[in-house]
Amino acid sequence: MPDAHDFNARTIAEFRANLGRVGGSFEGAPLLLLHTVGARSGAARISPMMYLPDSGRYLVFASKAGSDRNPDWYHNLLARPDARIEVGDETLDVRAAELHGPQRDAYYAQQAALYPGFAAYQRKTSRIIPVIALTPPH
């Protein structure tokens, strides 16, 4: 998908040029860059995404805009949960862990209340959109 690749490349460049702030569809939203390693390819990947801050953790949502398939970065984190993120002008090592049950539901509801697009994404798909906690070592 060249369009998604171009969009991500532009978003990543803008993020880095403006210390984590970008315009367009991400204007004013908390954004991070997630660095993963391809589960099958072994290639380095960078994915811009919104996050919900939570007591030193960064919660991300595998919505893929309501697609019936999880995003590639989700599968990459399942295969290799040690990852890196860029937040503002910081780069942090993190460990990914999927949240389940009532905990997942509460955080997804919180994100959907702040950003109604996430409620629309969940309505578009029959899968439960995963919530992943990215935790830096303490």
pLDDT for 17-65, tens place per residue? Answer: 998 999 888 888 999 999 999 999 999 999 999 999 999 999 999 999 9
CB atoms within 10 A of CB 24: 9
* Domain 2-135 CATH (choose: 3.40.50.150, 2.30.110.10, 1.10.3720.10, 3.40.50.300): 2.30.110.10
Q: What is the mean pLDDT of residues 121-138?
A: 95
95 pLDDT higher than 90: yes
Tell me the pLDDT tens digit for each residue of 72-84.
Answer: 999 999 999 999 9
Q: What is the mean pLDDT of residues 85-103?
A: 97
Residue 47 has a pLDDT of 95
Q: Domain coordinates of the chain in residue numbers? A: 2-135
C-beta separation of 46 from 34 below 8 A: yes
Residue 51 has a pLDDT of 97
DSSP string over 89-100: TEEEEEEEEEE-
The mean pLDDT of the chain is 94
Residue 24 has a pLDDT of 85
Would you place residue 117 in the very low, low, confident or very high pLDDT band (cuts 50, 70, 90)?
A: very high
**Residue length of the chain:** 138
Using CA atoms, how far residue 121 sits from 61, 66, 76, 117, in Å, is 10, 4, 21, 6
Q: What is the mean pLDDT of residues 86-94?
A: 96
Residue 2 has a pLDDT of 54
94 pLDDT higher than 70: yes
